A and B are shown apart, each in its own frame.
Chain A
Amino acid sequence: MDEKTKSGIIHDLLKSVKLNNGFYLWMAFLSVSLVFCLTAYYQQLTTGLGVTGLRDYISWGMYISNFVFFVASSLIGMLISSVLGLTGQKWITPITRMAEIIAFAFAAVAGLVIVSDMGRPERLLNVFIHGRFQSPILWDVTVVTTYVMISLLLFIVPMVPDLAIAYNNRTDLPKWQRLLYKLLSLNWVGSKEQKDLLHKAIRILLILVIPVALAIHTVTSWLFAVTPRAGWNSTIFGPYFVTGAFVTGVASVIIAMYVFRKIYHLQDYIKEIHFDKIGKLLVLVSLVYLYFNINEFLVPGYKMPKHESITLHSLFNGGHAIMFWFVQLAGLVIPIFLLLLKKFRKPTPLLIIGIFVFIGAWLKRYLIVVPTQEHPFLPIQNVPQSYTFYQPTFTEICITLASFILVLIIVSVLAKVFPLIPIQETIDERNNKTESHEE
C-alpha cells in the first residue's frame, strides 16, 4: 500500500477530533436540557418518590424499565467486539469502537438510573456496608460495575496505537487534548513486543467480557424471575432478556452508524456493505428473540393458569394490548420480514427500522415490568383508585429523559475527543487486502 493512502486514511479518520462550534452548540443544548430535567430529580429528592406514578402495588415502573433497557443496550459491546470479533468477522472493524462507546455509556448510566429509583439514595453505601450475598441486587451491582470497567478498557486499550497516531499527526490540537493522547497512548511506538502485548491484552478482555455481559443481563432478569409473582415467575427469563438485549443493542448501533457517518462524513469507511451486514445481524438476533417470545407467551397462553391468564389477557386484548402488539409487530416481526429483503438493508430504510426496533425494545421492558404488578395474587382493595394502575408522571418522564441525555453526552464526547473509527486496524486491513491481491 502506498504512503499516500495511509496518510489519507489518517487524515480522514482524525478529521473529527477537533472540537468545533457545532459540537459546543450540541453540548450546550444537551447540558441545558439535562439541567432542566435534573430539577425534576431535585423535586423527587425533596418531596419523595410520591412525585412518580408509583404506589404500593405497582411500585416499580418507568425507572426500572429504563434500567433494564439500559443494561440491555450495553450488551452490544460484547456482541460486536467479542462474539463477532473472536469468530473472525472482519466487517465489524469500523463499528467496534462505536459499539464499545455505546456499551460503556449505557452501562455507566444504568447505575445512575437505578439510584433514581431509590427511596433513600443517600444510603447507597449500605449496599456495600450491609450487603447481603443472597440478594440479586448485590450481584447486579457487582457485575454492572465490572462490566463498566471492562467496557471502558475495551474502548481504551485497542485505541492505544490510534492515540499515538493522533498525537503525532495532529499537532494543531489544543494542549490538553494532545496531552490526553500522549498519556493514554502509553509510549506506543508500534514495536513487535508492544504489538504482541496489546494483542494479548485485547484478547483477554474480549474473552473476559463475554461471561460478564451474560451475567449482567441474566442477573437483571432475575430481579423479576426470583419473585413468585405470576408473569415474572419464569424459568427462561435469563436467555429471554439476553437475546432481547442483542436486538436493542444492534438497533442502537445502527442509529449511531447512520448519524456518525453523516456528520463525520465517513462514507468511505462505513459503507453500504456494513449496513447490509448489520441488517442481517439484526434479523438473526430478532429471530432468536422472537423464538423466546413465542415460548414466553404461548406456553402459559396455552394453559391459561388462573393468575398468569389475567396478566396475559391484559397484554393480548386488555389495557396493554395496543402497546403489546405494537412491540411484537412493529418492533420485531415486521422488521424481520423487511430486513430479509436487500433493499431494506440500505442506510436510510435500515435507520427507520432501527428506530422502530429501538422504541419497541424500550416499550417491551415497560410491558415486562408494569402489567404483572397490576395483577397481584390478592385483590387490590380499599385504596384510592390511582393505586390500581400505573401512569408515569411528568417528573418521572423528565428524570428518565435525563438518563438518555446523559448517554448522549457520554457518547458525543467520547466519539468527538477520540478517533471514532480504528485507524491502525483500518490501515492494517487495507494493507492485507492489497498484499493478498498482489499475490
Chain B
Amino acid sequence: MEDNKDPKENKRREFLKTLGIIGAAGASGAMALYFGQQFEKIKAGKKVRLLTVDNKVVEFENGELKEFKGTTEDFIARGREGLPGKSWVMVIDLAKCRNARKCISACQSAHHLRPEQYHINTLQMQDSELTSPYFMPKPCQHCDNPPCVSVCPVDATFKRTDGPVLIDNERCIGCRFCIAACPYSARIFNWFDPKDAEKFANDPYDIELNVPQKRGTVSKCLFSADRLRNDELPYCVSNCPNGVYYFGDKNDDAVTNGTTKETVRLSTLLKDNAAYRLMEELGQEPRVYYLPPKDRLFPFPEQENKNEDNHV
C-alpha cells in the first residue's frame, strides 16, 4: 500500500523543527536533525556531525540515531485541540459499496488492530424482508451529542472542536461505560495485549492515531485525525477502490471522494441523493451521512453473512 506508509513518517518534517535529545550530545539539550529523509544507523566508532537549531555543529560517535517524533505529552497536548476552523464530515455512498473491505484492512494496519478488531466494519444489512440487502461500512459516527463522551468518568474520550471523538488511552481506566453507551457499537476494547505490543512498546503514544494500542483500554475510529492534521484523507477513505467515501469540511461545504479525488459540494450531494444519518431518532447527531443503496449494479451474495467468514 504505497499511500499508506507509516503514518508517523509524515510528521517528521514538522518535528524537525522541534527538539531532539540524542546520545551523549543530548546533554546540551535540543537538537534538530537534518540529513536526508532516511533513518541512519551509526555504526560503533563512526563519527557523525549534526547541525543544531542554533547553528552549531555538534559531533558524536557510537550509538544509534533515531528519528525524534515528539513525546507522548506533545501528542496529547496538540491532539486534544481540534484543527481550527474545521468541521469534518464523512459521506458514505451505499450504492457503491461492494464489500471490498480495503477500508477495513487499511484502517487495521494503521491502527495496529487484529483482524477481528474494527474501527470500521462493513455490515451486511437488510432493513426488511422485501427490501434489498446492501453493504454498510460503519465507522464511528463522531456524534455531536456523543453518549460515550457524556458517560466517560475521566474525560479519556472527548469531542474535538473540529468534530472527531477521540480517546486518550493514557488516561482510560477501562470501565467500558462508553462501549455500553454507544448505540452504533463503534467501540472496541483491548482485552489482551494488543497486536505487536512488544514491537511498539517504547514508541511515544500518538493520541490522534491511538497507537500504540494499550491493553485494558478502549479503542475506536478517530476519523484519522493524524491524517487530517497533514491535509490528507482518512485511511479508509483513500483506500476504497469503489468510490464509496466522501470526506471533507462542512464549513467549506465541500467533500472529496477518496477514490476519484473529485471534490463536490456537500449540501448538493446530500440533497440530490436523499442522504440520511443512522438512527437519527436517537438524537446523537452523527457526523456520518449515508446515501441510500439505490441502483446497485452488482450482485449481492445469496448467503447470510456468517460471523466467521470475513475476518482472520
- CB within 8 Å of B: which residues of A? 47-50, 54-57, 59-60, 117-121, 123-124, 126-127, 129-132, 134-138, 141, 223-224, 226-229, 373, 376-385, 387-388
Contact = CB atoms under 8 A, between A and B. Distances in A.
B125 A379 contact: yes
Given A48-B216, A56-B189, A226-B151, A382 B118 contact: yes
Given A119-B190, A123-B171, A376-B185, A385 B308 contact: yes
A118 B152 contact: no
B-side interface mostly = loop
A302 to B, nearest CB: 20
Contacts of B307: 380-385, 387-388
B177 A127 contact: no
A120 B217 contact: yes
Given A48-B192, A227-B151, A383 B175 contact: no
A348 B151 CA distance: 46
B305 A382 contact: yes
A86 B307 CA distance: 58
B191 A54 contact: yes
22 contacts: A56-B179, A56-B188, A56-B189, A59-B176, A119-B176, A119-B217, A123-B154, A129-B154, A134-B151, A135-B150, A135-B153, A137-B153, A137-B175, A141-B153, A224-B180, A226-B147, A378-B123, A379-B305, A382-B118, A383-B311, A384-B308, A387-B116
B177 A137 contact: yes
A368 B86 CA distance: 42
A141 B153 CA distance: 10
Contacts of B252: none
Nearest to A135: B153
Contacts of B154: 123, 126-127, 129-132, 135
A382 to B, nearest CB: 4
Contacts of A226: 147, 150-151, 181
B292 interface: no
B116 A384 contact: yes
A120 B172 contact: yes
A54 B118 CA distance: 16
B193 A48 contact: yes
A129 B170 CA distance: 14
Contact of B310 (A118, A135, A382): A382
B259 interface: no
Given A126-B173, A377-B184, 6 more contacts: A49-B216, A56-B185, A126-B156, A137-B151, A229-B180, A379-B123
B183 interface: yes
Contacts of A48: 190-193, 215-216
Contact of B191 (A50, A379, A382): A50
Nearest to A118: B174
Contacts of A223: 177, 180
A24 B8 CA distance: 61
B185 A57 contact: yes
B138 interface: yes
B187 interface: yes
Nearest to B174: A119
A14 B84 CA distance: 73
A201 to B, nearest CB: 34
Interface in B98-129: 116-118, 121-125
B282 interface: yes
A381 B174 CA distance: 24
B185 A380 contact: yes
Nearest to A54: B191
A373 B180 CA distance: 8
Contacts of A138: 153
Given A48-B192, A378-B138, A384-B307, A119 B153 contact: no
A141 B154 CA distance: 12
A47 B190 CA distance: 11
A379 B278 CA distance: 13
Contacts of A124: 173
A382 B122 contact: yes
Contact of B305 (A57, A127, A134, A381): A381
Nearest to B193: A48
A119 B167 CA distance: 15
Contacts of B179: 56, 59
A135 B183 contact: no
Contacts of A388: 307
A381 B171 contact: no
Contacts of A385: 307-308
A127 B152 CA distance: 10
Interface string B161-175: 000000000011111
B279 interface: yes
Given A135-B151, A228-B282, A378-B138, A117 B175 contact: yes
Given A48-B216, A119-B173, A226-B151, A382 B180 contact: no
A227 B172 CA distance: 19
Contact of B187 (A56, A134, A224, A387): A56
A130 B154 CA distance: 5
B155 interface: yes
Contacts of A49: 174, 189, 191, 216
A190 B153 CA distance: 47
Contact of A376 (B174, B183, B189, B190): B183
A292 to B, nearest CB: 22
A381 B310 contact: yes
Nearest to B122: A382
Given A60-B176, A382-B118, A119 B183 contact: no
Contact of B185 (A123, A132, A227, A378): A378
The 6 closest A-B pairs by CB, nearest first: A119-B174, A119-B216, A50-B191, A137-B153, A382-B310, A135-B153
Given A50-B191, A135-B150, A378-B185, A60 B180 contact: yes
A127 B175 CA distance: 11
Contacts of A141: 153
A328 to B, nearest CB: 25
Contacts of B52: none
Nearest to A227: B181
B309 interface: yes
A281 B181 CA distance: 36
B215 A377 contact: no
B216 A130 contact: no
A227 B180 contact: yes
B179 to A, nearest CB: 5
A387 B174 CA distance: 18
Nearest to B187: A56
Nearest to A222: B151
Contacts of A130: 154-156, 171
B242 interface: no
A131 B153 contact: yes
B284 interface: yes
